[in-house]
């Protein structure tokens, strides 16, 4: 948990330094002016800066509140454009401030106190604005960082404490700078801090331009000068301090580099030249400060209104945004899952196609359903929503009442309040897909039991048919053995829904040679397809009888184990389409043919197997998707007819011997049928949690 705090500590440190350095220098400078280098009076003159700082903090807090409570997602481009524009304005102000200080310092030297006071008065607003911008843009950014971090970690305490510690360290560093600055002679102070300010401002300019490029307001986002992000861990403590002080990032575009260097070259040159032109040691002047200067530095009434506005407006705007957001057609509504509540604050919804962003702050994996009250059916679901993640989810809502349901393992299921949707009859609302009534494993158990009862006698039949093959082999009657092999193979196909339940025994009975190291000659190639291979490749009793004996014994073993090998009830709906998916994949592709050319015969048996499974699920399917069974039954009949139509003289033909039109009919029909069968696992899906 505390690991979440460290990155935020560094964020706080970096952002705090970024904002604090400018403010500290401003404070120190104004203090020195107001006192003319004499530290005896520390009362009123820095007030505008503090107003600016305070207003910026209010702005940042308001922004944080909007992020936390607003239901919509803030577009990152908007945040970048705002931050970038504020940065550029801040640079212009700071630059003006540097030269203003330089000139004012000269005035001081000339002992023209009135002029100083005049200048200070004019710049009261500028001072406040500069402080506001310096702190405001970092504050907004810090709020966003913290919000994102809290969102990602699913908790709020550790990130906030981490950030607070970071900001405290930054403030401490700034205080030290301020104290240090206060002890230096004013001319030295100017030379040092002004140059520091120019370097910082150059970084802010580059950074702001980068933001504007990211936002798409300026071109050149992808024209990168250098990218050290692979070599530098931007979240390390030292990288945080360097970026905090210089505002430079590991990736910079050419525009950023050019303006950074250009700004430094031009402003430093001008600054130094101005200093040379009329350099006077100002720090030595120690005049007592005059009353009018202080009076004029105090915030006059008109400015007081502006300051009051700066304090009051952001919270008001934030409150308005939060308060009126739900009514303003947010594109993606945010749904929250916490350990104790499900979608708290969900109070209204529109009809038609809706997008939700579901955020899991429960600290556990959750399943989230949106349920239509009338049908108790699920309209939309996220089956697995990891802790501290969010996912989008879309749902088409018809008119009616809806409730969110949150399922978390080992915790009680929670529900949201019920919300009435009135779509106003929009077209997509009327075409909303039917909700799905959830099903439990218990409800599917009877079908699984019925299937187990169905398999038992089939295996008895199979054992008898294998014995018949052995009799044929002993008599040397290969054609009879081939005919009996087909019957045995088809019996096995009909228990297809149980394949997976049989494990290794299933492979022993019906395995294929493709994956075996020695192919058809592999000793592990046993069972029905091995016999098929032998019967159609000139092998006789000598080779095949031992294999048939092995097959008999495997079937006997399977019969003995059958009571333990029960069908998983949640698998039954899957089998409804998988038996024929397997037929398409394995039989109709010719992959399972070891010589008999029985693909169509086997597929025909698979149709029968599918019909058996569907018969056991009929009621469950019918209550959830009326009409589906009728369609599927008709398509199964069409497929049976198409398969029988491949026969010649009542005999099954191989794939290659079948005319193209007949093949296409089978392939087309089974494809159309599978599209409909694939709905069954979805409407009979047992929830995972």
Instruction: Build a one-symbol-per-residue string for 395-424: x at contacts with another protein by CB under 8 A, - elsewhere.
Output: xx----------------------------
CA–CA dist 594, 617 (Å, integer): 34
CB-CB contact of 335 with 404 (8 Å):
yes
649 binds another protein (CB under 8 A): no
- Contact pick of 96, 233, 254, 304 for another protein (by CB under 8 A): 254
Report, in Å, the least distance between residue 341 CB and another protein: 23
* x-marked contacts with another protein along 207-226 as a string, rule CB under 8 A: ------x----xxxxxx---
Kindly tell me which residue out of 243, 357, 501, 635 binds another protein, with binding defined by CB under 8 A. 635
Query: Contacts with another protein in 346-365 (CB under 8 A)?
Result: 353
Counting contacts by CB under 8 A, is residue 660 touching another protein? yes
Asked if residues 629 and 622 have their Cβ atoms less than 8 Å apart, the reply is yes
**Smaller CB distance to another protein: residue 567 or 684?**
684
CB of 674 to another protein, least distance (A): 8
In the complex, least distance from residue 359 CB atom to another protein, rounded to whole angstroms: 19
Binding segment toward another protein, per CB under 8 A, in 37-45, 47-55, 76-84, 254-262: 254-262
Which of 106, 137, 405, 665: binder of another protein (CB under 8 A)? 665
- Determine if 489 is a binding residue for another protein (CB under 8 A): no
11 binds another protein (CB under 8 A): no
Q: Angle at which helices 478-494 and 599-624 pack, to 10 degrees?
A: 20
Cα separation, 233 vs 228, in Å, equals: 9
* CB-nearer residue toward another protein: 67 or 255: 255
In the numeric block, which tokens belong to residue 662?
Answer: 């007949």
Identify the DSSP state of 678: T
Total residues binding another protein (CB under 8 A): 44
DSSP letter string, 464-523: HHHHHHHHHHHTT-HHHHHHHHHHHHHHHHHTGGGGGGGTHHHHHHH--STTSTTGGG-T
Half-sphere exposure at residue 18, Cβ-oriented, CA atoms within 13 angstroms? 33
DSSP state of 71: S
Residue 406's SS3 state is: strand
Q: In angstroms, give the least distance from the CB of 229 to another protein.
A: 17
Stretch that binds another protein, among 1-9, 520-528, 568-576, 669-677 (CB under 8 A): 669-677
Please report how close the Cβ of residue 397 comes to another protein at its closest, in angstroms. Answer: 10
Q: Which is nearer to another protein, 338 or 390 (CB)?
A: 390
- H/E element, 394: strand 390-397
d(CA 245, CA 574): 61
When asked if residue 330 is in the footprint of another protein (CB under 8 A), the reply is no
Residue 518 CA to residue 617 CA, distance in Å, equals 42
Q: Kindly tell me which residue out of 432, 508, 572, 596 binds another protein, with binding defined by CB under 8 A.
A: 432
> CB 621 → another protein: shortest distance, Å?
11
Helix (H/G/I), strand (E/B), else coil: 152: helix
- Residues of 527-550 as b/e, b for ≥16 C-beta within 10 angstroms? bbbbbbbbbbeebebeebbebbee
Which residues of the shown chain bind another protein in the complex (CB under 8 A)? 213, 218-223, 253-255, 258, 262, 353, 378-381, 394-396, 432-436, 624-625, 635, 660-661, 664-665, 667-669, 671-675, 678-679, 682-683
């Amino acid at each position: 948990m505390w690991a979440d705090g460290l990155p935020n500590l560094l964020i706080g440190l970096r952002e705090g330094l970024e904002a604090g350095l400018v403010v500290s220098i401003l404070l120190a400078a104004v203090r020195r002016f107001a006192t003319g280098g004499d530290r005896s009076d520390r009362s009123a003159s820095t007030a505008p800066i503090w107003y600016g700082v305070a207003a910026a903090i209010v702005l940042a807090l308001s922004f944080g509140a909007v992020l936390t409570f607003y239901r919509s997602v803030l577009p990152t481009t908007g945040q970048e454009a705002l931050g970038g524009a504020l940065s550029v304005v801040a640079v212009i102000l700071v630059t003006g401030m540097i030269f203003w200080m330089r000139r004012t310092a000269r005035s001081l030297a000339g002992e023209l106190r009135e002029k100083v006071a005049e200048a200070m008065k004019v710049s009261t607003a500028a001072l406040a604005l500069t402080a506001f911008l310096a702190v405001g843009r970092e504050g907004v950014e810090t709020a966003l960082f913290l919000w994102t971090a809290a969102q990602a970690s699913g908790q709020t305490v550790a990130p906030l404490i981490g950030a607070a510690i970071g900001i405290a360290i930054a403030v401490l560093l700034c205080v030290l700078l301020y104290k240090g600055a206060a002890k230096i002679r004013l001319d030295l102070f100017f030379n040092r801090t002004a140059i520091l300010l120019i370097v910082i401002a150059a970084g802010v300019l580059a950074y702001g331009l980068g933001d504007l490029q990211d936002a798409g307001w300026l071109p050149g986002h992808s024209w990168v000068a250098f990218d050290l992000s692979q070599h530098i861990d931007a979240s390390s403590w030292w990288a945080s301090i360097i970026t905090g002080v210089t505002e430079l990032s590991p990736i910079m575009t050419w525009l950023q580099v050019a303006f950074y260097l250009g700004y430094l070259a031009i402003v430093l040159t001008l600054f130094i030249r101005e200093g040379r032109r009329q350099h006077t040691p100002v720090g030595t002047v120690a005049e007592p400060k005059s009353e009018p200067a202080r009076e004029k530095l105090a915030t006059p009434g008109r400015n007081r209104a502006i300051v009051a506005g700066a304090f009051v407006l952001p919270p008001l705007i934030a409150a308005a945004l939060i308060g009126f957001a739900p009514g303003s057609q947010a594109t993606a509504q945010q749904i929250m899952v916490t350990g104790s509540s499900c979608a708290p604050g969900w109070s209204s919804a529109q009809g038609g196609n809706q997008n939700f962003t579901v955020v899991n702050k429960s600290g556990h994996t959750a399943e989230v359903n949106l349920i239509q009250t009338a049908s108790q059916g699920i309209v939309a679901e996220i089956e697995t929503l990891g802790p501290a993640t969010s996912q989008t989810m879309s749902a088409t809502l018809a008119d009616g009442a809806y409730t969110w349901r949150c399922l978390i393992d080992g915790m009680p299921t929670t529900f949201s309040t019920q919300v009435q949707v009135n779509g106003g009859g929009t077209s997509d609302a009327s075409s909303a897909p039917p909700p799905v009534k959830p099903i439990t494993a218990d409800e599917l158990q009877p079908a699984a039991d019925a299937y187990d009862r169905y398999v038992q006698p089939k295996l008895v039949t199979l054992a008898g048919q294998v014995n018949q093959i052995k009799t044929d082999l002993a008599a040397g009657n290969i054609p009879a053995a081939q005919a009996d092999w087909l019957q045995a193979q088809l019996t096995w196909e009909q228990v297809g829904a149980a394949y997976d339940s049989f494990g290794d025994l299933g492979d022993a009975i019906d395995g294929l040679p493709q994956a075996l190291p020695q192919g058809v000659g592999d000793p592990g190639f046993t069972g029905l397809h091995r016999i098929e291979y032998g019967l159609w490749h000139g092998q006789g009793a000598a080779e095949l009888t031992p294999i048939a004996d092995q097959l008999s014994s495997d079937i006997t073993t399977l019969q003995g184990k059958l009571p333990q090998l029960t069908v998983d009830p949640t698998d039954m709906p899957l089998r409804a389409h998988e038996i024929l998916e397997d037929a398409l994949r394995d039989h109709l592709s010719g992959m399972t043919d070891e010589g008999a050319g029985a693909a169509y015969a086997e597929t025909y048996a698979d149709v029968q197997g599918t019909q058996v499974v569907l018969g056991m699920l009929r009621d469950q399917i019918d209550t959830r998707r009326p009409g589906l069974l009728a369609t599927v039954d008709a398509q199964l009949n069409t497929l049976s007819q198409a398969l029988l139509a491949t026969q010649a003289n009542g005999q099954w033909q191989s794939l290659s011997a079948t005319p193209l039109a007949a093949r296409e009919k089978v392939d087309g029909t089974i494809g159309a049928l599978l599209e409909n069968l694939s709905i069954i696992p979805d409407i009979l899906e047992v929830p995972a949690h």
